[in-house]
Amino acid sequence: MSEPITDETARALRRAWFEYLDTIEPVRPKLHAYCLKLTGSVFDAEDLVQEALLRGFAATARGDAFRGRDMIQNARAYLSRIATNLWLDEQRRARRESTGDAADRPGEPRDMAIVTPGAGAALFERMAPQERAALVLKDVFDFSLEEIATILSTTTGAVKSALNRGRGKLAERRRPATPPRGQPASPALIDRFIAAFNARDIEAVTAVLSESVVYEARGVGGEIGKDGAIWIEVNVARPAGVRWERHTVEGEDVAVGVVERNGRKTLLGISRLEEADGVISRHVGYFFAPETLALVADALGMHAANHGYHQDPETLERMIADSRLPWRGA
């Protein structure tokens, strides 16, 4: 039986992750813009960014001879390649699920066979995935033709052709965003959750959570279970001026944390909630996601707070070490 990870090892891993986030911070806005163009959804874009960052961190930490070198020499291109491949893989899975195919059609180029149900713009229904990726890499990231060819594993001639075809098909019309993977929480359940948080009522908060509720803070970490969950304590203990409200973003009801000063609201964080058996089964928080907060705040007519991309390690360590959970008598 393997030994558990020690606290010292866990702290070292957290510090390495945060140092990595600090290092690649300059490329984050462009990477998010690229993922937003691919997915057509602000939340799906943030999720794709986070997955690409995790893959990049793993490759670098493992010391992969080629991947690690690529990451160090050109993080922008490397992370773009990861995000592109993740997105293309997701589209292939969606196509197989929607058609019942076990694999791409024989003799048909893999990328050209992809169907993208629920995509965010007419761009997705009129372009092949490689055309879409090439167009965004050029127009958003301003990569050279040679760099795009490397990212897409093709030739510069093929990139030129993809760009010409893509620009001829580009349109501005949007479609509804892809829903979250789980069952979205009902407005009534979200309202109960919000009312409990605004009342700073720990018992009422835990009453609307499943025993095995999953809490994810994008880019930071997460917890499982409501018994002694630090995220509940931290959020309930926020200053009294912070309140939660229900708003609709991309057709989905979400809870948003706001503070109001001088008649203007500032968006502090976003919570997407999923429901099972009448209680909340999953909570995905977007707090250290400045691009996502800025886009959602603009849509809601608010200012957006910028907390950066993570909690500084010292503060996080102190929060964990000093955690006091009053409903458990600690």
Residue with more model confidence, 204 or 326 = 204
For residues 89 and 52, state if they share a domain. Answer: yes
pLDDT of residue 69: 54
Average pLDDT in the chain: 77
For residues 196 and 137, state if they share a domain. Answer: no
Model confidence at 311: pLDDT above 70: yes
pLDDT of residue 329: 34
DSSP, residue by residue, 77-107: HHHHHHHHHHHHHHHHHHHHHHH--SSPPTT
Give domain status of residue 1, yes or no. Answer: no
Give domain status of residue 175, yes or no. Answer: no
Question: With b meaning 16 or more CB within 10 Å and e meaning fewer, what string describes 31-66?
Answer: bbbbbbbbbbbbbbbbbbbbbbbebbbebbeeeeee
Paired sense of beta strands 209-217 and 242-249, if any: unpaired
pLDDT of residue 106: 37
Per-residue pLDDT, averaged over 228-240, amounts to 68
Cα(203)–Cα(317) distance, rounded to whole angstroms? 26
Give domain status of residue 211, yes or no. Answer: yes
Predicted confidence (pLDDT) per residue in 57-107, tens digit: 888 777 654 454 555 568 888 898 899 888 888 877 777 776 655 444 433
Predicted confidence (pLDDT) per residue in 167-221, tens digit: 776 544 333 334 445 789 999 999 999 999 898 888 888 899 998 898 888 877 7
For residues 103 and 224, state if they share a domain. Answer: no
For residues 279 and 146, state if they share a domain. Answer: no
Cα(36)–Cα(289) distance, rounded to whole angstroms? 13
For residues 89 and 136, state if they share a domain. Answer: yes
pLDDT of residue 229: 67
For residues 18 and 165, state if they share a domain. Answer: yes
Name the domain count of the chain: 2
Per-residue pLDDT, averaged over 222-228, amounts to 77
In the block, tokens 């995509």 appear at 119
Cα(17)–Cα(56) distance, rounded to whole angstroms? 11
Residue with more model confidence, 134 or 268 = 268
End-to-end CA distance of the chain: 32
Per-residue pLDDT, averaged over 44-52, amounts to 93
Model confidence at 291: pLDDT above 80: yes
pLDDT of residue 131: 79
CA neighbor of 292 nearest in space, from 243, 263, 330, 254: 254
pLDDT of residue 253: 95
Give domain status of residue 80, yes or no. Answer: yes
The shares of helix, strand and coil residues in the chain, as percent rounded to the nearest 5, are 55, 15, 30
Model confidence at 153: pLDDT above 60: yes
For residues 119 and 202, state if they share a domain. Answer: no
Cα(254)–Cα(146) distance, rounded to whole angstroms? 41
Q: How far lies 100's CA from each of 92, 107, 180, in Å? A: 12, 18, 21
Residues sharing a CB contact under 8 Å with residue 70, sequence separation 6 or more, in sequence order? 77, 78
Local confidence band at 320 (pLDDT 50, 70, 90 cut-offs): low
For residues 224 and 123, state if they share a domain. Answer: no
Give domain status of residue 182, yes or no. Answer: no
Give domain status of residue 174, yes or no. Answer: no
* Domain containing residue 97: CATH number: 1.20.140.160
| DSSP alpha helix (H) spans, 219-303 | 230-236, 290-300
pLDDT of residue 170: 59
For residues 109 and 81, state if they share a domain. Answer: yes
* Domain containing residue 278: CATH number: 3.10.450.50
For residues 290 and 209, state if they share a domain. Answer: yes
Residue-level length of the chain: 330
Model confidence at 263: pLDDT above 60: yes
In the block, tokens 């040679």 appear at 146
Model confidence at 140: pLDDT above 90: no
Angle subtended at Cα 292 by Cα 310 and Cα 320, rounded to the nearest 5 degrees? 25
Most confident of 10-19, 117-126, 276-285: 276-285
- Give the H or E element holding residue 72: helix 67-73
For residues 220 and 273, state if they share a domain. Answer: yes
Cα(51)–Cα(62) distance, rounded to whole angstroms? 17
- Structural domain boundaries enclosing 51: 7-169
To the question of pTM greater than 0.85 for the whole model, the response is no
For residues 162 and 215, state if they share a domain. Answer: no
Model confidence at 120: pLDDT above 80: no
> Which of 169, 199, 223 is the endpoint of a domain?
169
